Chain A
């Protein structure tokens, strides 16, 4: 069983305050009970599932949309104030109370548009409504306020013999709600604190991971560069040796060219396919270029 308790102000007397309790099982569409009180008197009534279907059918309105509209009107309370009108008329002996709820379509100029909205499932309804007086019954024009209202439903409420019990029950309900909300609030606050602590803890840890990653990366790159540069230094020194060897080879060639070309050819040949005796000679020549130059 679920309940809501709201304050409503009837259109006939906006100063007056009534308390409206709506109770239902599972969902509003399967019927609901109503308790209305002004603090002094109380009235009660019920809307059955069949009533809801009938009301929706009378208005040629999609049932789900109608239930949605009921929820807005009866459960939302202050949030939808002004959008819905309530009328409460009590007979002289206080035995019966006529209660109705309507949607206020304030601006008359929106009349057609809003009707079209209601009948969005069936575009023909708009024309139908304009032609058929009976259907327009639930749509009544309020000439005085230049507004249009849409009657959602009305019911007769029976007087409750002991209104004090009803008021007690309502106050009890309110206190229970309040207590429940306080507990929930505390719980949520604690939960929030815990989540915040967890977040900052995780953030700190993440920061450490990021720092460690940055350090590791910087350190590895540093080591990498040092080792890489060692290799480059070696390559440079080998290049230098190679250039020196090339220079000396050129020098050697020049010197030898001036001596005799035939001998040179012989040496060249030996570079690739030399006999053992000649090779040793070659080795001496290439490894001791300075000596040859001095000759």
Chain B
């Protein structure tokens, strides 16, 4: 690497160990560009090595990570440094692995998902942070409803029916989901209800807030009989309640649509 032309001294006296290259830049390309910026390159990390640069992960990289002695940084960080001609501060997004010291430093600045405690975030950064959340637990609808209430997001157009538990009358026999009548407008209504935040349930039981009825009124008597046994009474409304509410973007008063 003696023949390099020095372009800058961004990395003056900084020692790197490049493990692998990226799809666009090979390991040796990265190494020569480090040299051009005044940095030095070693083939195995030692006590003076600033960090290990990794383009693609392999077994050697895994071993370095396992040793827990070095900061392992994505090659993109290096590229950003080349581009901006300065030492770009490390951000969680760049870090493949952190040594205990660095981890402690980051813990003061960032939460465990890499979101800064002090710096504002933006859409791209937040997406990045979210992509690091590995917990794939789905939040149940009632918790979402609570959350939206707390932050006053419940006026959002997509939450027209949030918090409602709805039974749609498209089963030929009440409370027998296997008798679903296919190809009716009601199944579209049910999807609309779900799209706009409702919880659509297959059983008419205690806790249901609304029953949506189509043209067929033959099961109303039975449902009203069921209702008499419930402590919390549900409302029986025509499917117009759904279409009108969606049309206006707010939950319309049910009283106009009662059956």
B-binding residues in A (CB < 8 A): 196, 199-200, 203, 206-207, 209-210, 213-215, 217-227, 230-231, 233-234
* Given contact pairs A225-B147, A231-B111, A206 touches B191 in the complex (Cβ within 8 A): yes
Is the CB–CB distance between A221 and B191 below 8 Å?
no
Instruction: Please pick, from B129, B139, B183, B195, the residue contacting A221 in the complex, using a CB distance under 8 A.
Output: B139
* B124-143 contacts to A (CB < 8 Å): 126, 129-130, 133, 135-141, 143
Is the CB–CB distance between A200 and B144 below 8 Å?
no
B141 to chain A, nearest CB (A): 8
Residues of A within 8 A of B143 (CB): 221
* Given contact pairs A196-B183, A217-B144, A226 touches B113 in the complex (Cβ within 8 A): yes
Interface string of B210-251 (1 = CB under 8 A from A): 000000000000000000000000000000000000000000
A230 to B115, CA, bound (A): 9
Is the CB–CB distance between A222 and B112 below 8 Å?
no
* B171-185 contacts to A (CB < 8 Å): 182-183
Residues of B within 8 A of A218 (CB): 138-141, 144
Is the CB–CB distance between B111 and A234 below 8 Å?
yes
Q: Does B119 contact A (CB under 8 A)?
A: no
Residues of B within 8 A of A217 (CB): 144
Number of residues in B with C-beta < 8 Å to the partner? 26
Is the CB–CB distance between B113 and A222 below 8 Å?
no
Residues of B within 8 A of A222 (CB): 133, 135-139
**CB-CB nearest in chain B for A207:** B191
A196 to B184, CA, bound (A): 10
Q: Does B209 contact A (CB under 8 A)?
A: no
Is the CB–CB distance between A226 and B182 below 8 Å?
no
Instruction: Please pick, from A210, A220, A233, A234, the residue contacting B194 in the complex, using a CB distance under 8 A.
Output: A210
**CB-CB nearest in chain A for B135:** A226
Q: Does B25 contact A (CB under 8 A)?
A: no
Q: Does B188 contact A (CB under 8 A)?
A: yes
**CB-CB nearest in chain A for B193:** A210
Is the CB–CB distance between B191 and A219 below 8 Å?
no
Residues of A within 8 A of B141 (CB): 218
A121 to B112, CA, bound (A): 85
A203 to B183, CA, bound (A): 8
Is the CB–CB distance between A226 and B133 below 8 Å?
yes
| A-B pairs with beta carbons under 8 Å apart, 21 shown | A199-B183, A203-B183, A203-B188, A206-B188, A210-B191, A210-B195, A213-B195, A214-B194, A215-B138, A218-B139, A219-B136, A219-B138, A219-B139, A221-B139, A221-B143, A221-B147, A224-B130, A226-B133, A227-B133, A230-B111, A230-B113
A82 to B147, CA, bound (A): 69
Residues of A within 8 A of B136 (CB): 219, 222
Residues of B within 8 A of A206 (CB): 188, 191
Interface string of B1-35 (1 = CB under 8 A from A): 00000000000000000000000000000000000
B124 to chain A, nearest CB (A): 15
A7 to chain B, nearest CB (A): 35
* Given contact pairs A199-B183, A200-B183, A213-B195, A227 touches B188 in the complex (Cβ within 8 A): no
Q: Does B99 contact A (CB under 8 A)?
A: no
A218 to B140, CA, bound (A): 7
B251 to chain A, nearest CB (A): 18
Other contacts beyond A215-B138, A224-B130, A227-B130: 10, CB < 8 A: A214-B194, A218-B144, A219-B139, A221-B139, A222-B133, A222-B136, A222-B139, A225-B139, A227-B133, A231-B115
Residues of B within 8 A of A223 (CB): 129-130, 133, 135
B215 to chain A, nearest CB (A): 16
Residues of A within 8 A of B112 (CB): 230
A269 to chain B, nearest CB (A): 31
The list of the 3 closest CB pairs from A to B, nearest first, reads A230-B111, A218-B138, A223-B130
Is the CB–CB distance between A227 and B138 below 8 Å?
no
Is the CB–CB distance between B130 and A234 below 8 Å?
no
Is the CB–CB distance between A227 and B195 below 8 Å?
no
Q: Does B187 contact A (CB under 8 A)?
A: yes
A13 to B130, CA, bound (A): 89
Is the CB–CB distance between B187 and A220 below 8 Å?
no
A46 to B45, CA, bound (A): 111
Is the CB–CB distance between A200 and B138 below 8 Å?
no
A223 to B128, CA, bound (A): 11
Q: Does B117 contact A (CB under 8 A)?
A: yes
Residues of A within 8 A of B144 (CB): 217-218, 221
